[in-house]
Structure 1
Amino acid sequence: MSFNIGLSGLYAASKQLDVTGNNIANVATTGFKSSRAEFEDVYSASKLGVGSKTVGNGVRLAAVSQQFGQGDVNNTGNVLDMAIQGQGYFILSDNGSLSYTRAGAFQTNKDNYVVTSDGLRLQGYAADENGKIIKSGLTDLKIDTSALAPKATSLIDQGINLNSSADSIPLAPTGPAFVPTDETTYSKKFSTEIYDSQGNKHTMEQYYRKTDQNTWTMYTLIDGRNPQDPTSTTPLTGTMTFKSDGSINTMTGSVAPDDSFAVVNNVFTVKGWIPSAYNSTTGTWSPNGSAANPDGIRLDMNSTTSYNTETARLSQSQDGYATGILSSLSIDSTGVMFASFSNQQSRAIGQLAIASFANEQGLEQQGGTRWKETYSSGIPGIDTPKTGTLGSISSNSLEESNVNLTQELVELVKAQSNYQANAKTISTQSSIMQTIIQMT
């Protein structure tokens, strides 16, 4: 029996060496989780139990369990390098077969899908054309490098203060006629860049003229032309009156037959504006109908005031933009992938999903620093990062192996000593057997 006990000890020490050696070999493997050899003693027993004087039969390997503790997270400078801070696994798809990993070294393939080095696709949630994340099911994450389509300007929201103490410039015939090139015929000018449906940039010019106490007239041109008639330089005209506290009182527009400059709730609307197109050959202006915005541009003037301070535009925003080319990508802590474009626009193009398991020890190792779901692990709980107990995403970073090299070297010495000691047990038993044989 002593031989069998010693042999079991040699086998156990050998497995301990194997596990320790594998940990040391993977000390630089991204996302690797160290393993630990666990042993249990062996006794011969009947249904009635083990006798009080029973000698053990040695040792056997009970399990090789992985240690899923967090590894160090180091910066790499590559935006598609990602680490999970906390609980969770990246989800990978191999033609629909899912696996899970902590190794976040990703790249793009020829079709712009986010993949591992061996081509498995990262899973997450897609975004619609407006950047809204759609959580209807997992999909292959893809970085769309196509140009961002232009958007015609439909709303200009601006906060302007018109100086209540400014000098009045009466309207004709008692005052001078409005002339855009003559600064004495208006109090202040503001220019705004706007865009048509083809992404062409135009300039909307607004001239403000104080015509009476608490009364201002606004003249509007686009590219120096009437938005409805590019052959004319006559501006669209609107009138604003203010209350004694400086807030807007009334707004009226010069209403054309098609209501081209209507006012609703202190919002001027240049309906169906058509940007000017200049033909250098003929020297004429003509409507650029193919790029027109049929819904018009709304000029929201609700933030306009008339206080006793200089006339100035305090804030402004407009919702149009030209065609944009993808210029950069960023990933936030919740796994949302943001694309920034050359036209100063940005939008979400997808969001990572990560998974957690009730029993991580039940996961089946697949190699390549990946695991598979099993009955013992339970089904994965899948959601976005930072949801519930799920960890956060660190972009430009990778999680290192959680192997403690110093500890593994100590374990190596211990395994070697165990192996030598068990070998000595067999050697001693052999000597005893030889002595007995010589006595006979």
Structure 2
Amino acid sequence: MSINSAMLAGVSGLVANSSALAAISDNISNVNTVGYKRSQANFQTLVSGNSRNATYAAGGVTAQTRQYVTQQGLPQSTSNTTDLAISGSGFFVVTEKPEDLQSSDARAFTRAGSFQLDNLGYLKNEAGLYLQGWLVDDQGVITTDPSDLSRLSSINVSNVGGAAEPTTRVAISANLKSSQAVSAELPGYNAATNSMAMYDAELGTGVKPDFSIQIPASDSKGGKRTLQVDFLKSNVPNQWYAEIRAVPASDVVTGAGLSNGQLKTGIVAFTPDGRLDSSATTLLDADDPVLNFGASADGAPGAGEANWATGLGIDDQEIRIDIAGGAGGLTQYDSPSIVQAVNTNGTAFGNLTNVEIDEDGFVTAIFDNGISRQIAQVAIATFANPDGLKATNGNAYRVTMESGTYSLKAAGTGGAGAIAPSTLEASTVDLSSEFTGLIITQRAYSASSKIISTADQMLEELLSIKR
């Protein structure tokens, strides 16, 4: 009966507009939710099987709610270095628990990148979902896998302890006074039996150097060590006797030919114009000016070799001492002997002070001694049809048949968007559109109710015929 069909069409209108109201309500309530994607109820007609000459029967309307997952929200800058947004396609891979993940544990995908460190050092967003990525291996290498979710792990920075880097390179810029008078002690100087390393004013031993340069260095544990280069003017023009030694001498164990902490002995020579004459300099090899230290645990050093002292318990080390380069190198001009600069790498022990994430998704730990260390890379998941993903709690999504399977990629590669650090993606909700839709939905709902009340009046008229 046409009146009945009209009433049922009105009911379908009420149901459809109720769904539209629910979608609008969700949108308005999530206007400030990071990474939220607006939903919209799309209406379609329901048509009954009417023939051309039959009485018309209303079919009504139905609503299908769709979430626009691929629509990107505006990026908003923040002051938090672990806030992340994806500029382009892709989703962060997240899990509900940080540890002991099994292949059966569900993984979700989200654009909500408001990550912070929890009490265990894991990166977790406001919904309690933990960020996944590829961790650095023992060799300092990060290996990505585009298809295996089980290769991902929760990113944790609490297991990154303090860090230290041993000194491997030294650049000296200094001048030795060319008119330096030859020391009265020079005739008694002998690098093996009466050296500058033996000098002690109180005991009256050794030969006092004319000039000394101290070099700060860090060992394999970040401990502070001191090397010293002593110079004694020779009676041969443009030549100086030189010794490199450890201060204190107890820091090293030396082999035959070295004593009192000596590491190297020889001549430093200059050209007539005051520049270093590498061909005549014997203190260090001109092509490979390296000091080699054996580990504390090594056996007795050979002749002319040195190990770190056993009590230090530190690793072997190579330190390249550049006296021909640097800012100016070692020179001999007729001006006061002075050290312009001693530049070294290596750092003492440092503590974790900050965590930074770059556009490629590399998570880097920053230490207060200047060292930075990569610890992981954030994985980005892409889908053939992101709008087919199923929404779940926490502003996240699950894989469905419509979305297709995921593909894991590094940020900025293979169609995956770049990561924007210290940025959050805003909700895609436009309040002006939602309030306009709210008014329209309210009127449509009222109109559908009028259909039902009108059909009810007509049925009442029909029933009154019998009276």
Please, what TM-score do these two structures have when normalized by structure 2? 0.75
Paired with 2:397 and 2:155, the residues of 1 have a C-alpha distance of 20
Partner of 1:34: 38
Match of 2:387 in 1: 361
Matched, 1:220 2:248: no
Give the Cα–Cα distance (whole angstroms) in 1 for the partners of residues 371 and 86 of structure 2: 28
Could you say which residue in structure 1 is the equivalent of 2:66?
64
Q: Is residue 335 of structure 1 aligned with residue 356 of structure 2?
A: no
Separation (CA, whole Å) in 1 of partners of 2:334 and 2:430: 68
Specify every segment of 5 or more residues in structure 1 that has no aligned partner in the other structure, as ranges. 255-261, 275-285
Call closer, same or farther: CA 1:50–1:330 in 2, change over 3 Å.
farther
Q: Tell whether the 8 Å contact from 1:250 to 1:266 is kept in structure 2 after alignment.
A: no
SS at match of 1:371: strand
Match of 2:279 in 1: 250
Q: State the shift of 1:168 in Å.
A: 5.6
In the TM superposition, residue 76 of structure 1 has moved relative to its aligned partner by 4.7
C-alpha separation in 2, matches of 1:52 and 1:248: 112
CA distance in 2 between counterparts of 1:395 and 1:325 reads: 23
Contact preservation (8 Å) 1:152, 1:293: no
Question: What amino acid sits opposite 1:93 in the alignment?
Answer: T
* CA deviation map 1:117-168 (0-9, x unaligned): 5654311011245654333532221113453354543x223153657x8436
Give the 3-state SS of the residue equivalent to 2:419 in structure 1: strand
The aligned residue for residue 298 of structure 1 is: 320
Partner Cα distance (1:50, 1:225) in 2: 110
Change (3 A) 1:214 1:268: farther
- The answer on 1:206 being equivalent to 2:229 is yes
- Displacement of 1:362: 0.8
Distance 2:358 2:433 in 1: 35
Check whether the contact 2:217–2:344 (CA below 8 A) recurs between aligned residues.
no
Secondary structure at the residue paired with 2:11? Answer: helix
Partners of 1:225 and 1:235 within 8 A in 2: no
The alpha carbon displacement at 1:36 in A equals: 0.5
Once structures 1 and 2 are overlaid, which stretch shifts more, 228-237 or 60-69?
228-237
The residue type equivalent to 1:236 in the other structure is K
Alignment partners' CA distance in 2, 1:41 and 1:51: 21
Cα offset, 1:407, TM superposition? 1.5
* Contact in 2 for aligned 1:198/1:291 (Cα 8 Å): no
Question: Shift of the alpha carbon at 1:56?
Answer: 5.7
2:110 pairs with 1:101: yes
**What CA deviation, in whole Å up to 9, does each residue of 1:312-355 have, x standing for no partner?**
55572333x33332222222222222212233322111121121
Aligned-residue CA RMSD in angstroms? 3.9
SS in 2 for 1:112: coil
Given residue 291 of structure 1, which amino acid in structure 2 is its aligned partner?
A: G
1:112 pairs, out of 121, 138, 141, with 121
In 2: Cα distance, 1:157 partner to 1:142 partner: 35
Tell me, in whole angstroms, the C-alpha distance in 2 between the residues paired with 1:67 and 1:146: 36
Does structure 2 retain, via aligned residues, the 8 Å contact 1:149–1:324? yes
Aligned residues: 417
Structure number having the greater strand percentage: 1
1:141 has 2:150 as partner? no
Question: Which residue is equivalent to 1:257?
Answer: none
The answer to whether the 8 A contact 1:38-1:65 is kept is no
Aligned counterpart for 2:134 among listed residues 114, 125, 137: 125
Distance 2:124 2:217 in 1: 39
Alignment of 1:175-186 (within 5 A): none
Deviation per CA, 1:7-43: give whole Å up to 9, x if none. 2222221111111112122223232211010111222
State how far apart, in whole Å, the 1-side matches of 2:249 and 2:333 are. Answer: 32
Equivalent residue for 1:191? 214
Are the equivalent residues in 2 in contact too, given 1:263–1:269 (CA < 8 A)? no
Q: What's the TM-score, normalizing by structure 1? A: 0.79
Q: Which moved more, 1:192-201 or 1:31-40?
A: 192-201
Which residue does 2:400 correspond to in 1?
374
Give the drift of 1:393. Answer: 2.9
Is it true that 1:160 corresponds to 2:183 in the alignment?
A: no
- More displaced stretch, 423-432 vs 363-372: 423-432
Q: Give me the whole-angstrom Cα distance separating, in 2, the residues matched to 1:31 and 1:55.
A: 45
The 1-side partners of 2:139 and 2:173 are apart by: 30
Q: Distance in 2 between matches of 1:51 and 1:242?
A: 115
Structure-2 separation of matches of 1:118 and 1:139: 18
1:173-207 CA distance string (max 9 Å, x none): 7679686799x976754322112344321211224
Instruction: Measure how far apart 1:369 and its partner are.
Output: 0.8
After TM superposition, give the deviation of residue 244 of structure 1 in Å: 7.7
Amino acid at match of 2:279: T
Residues 131-140 or 344-353, more deviating: 131-140
Identity %: 26
Q: Specify the alignment match of 1:82 in structure 2.
A: 84
Structure 1 residue 218 displacement after superposition = 3.5
Contact 2:95 2:130 in 1 (8 A): yes
Could you tell me which runs of 5 or more consecutive residues in structure 2 were left unpaired when the two chains were aligned. 146-150, 190-194, 202-206, 297-307
CA contact (8 A) 1:268 1:301 kept: no
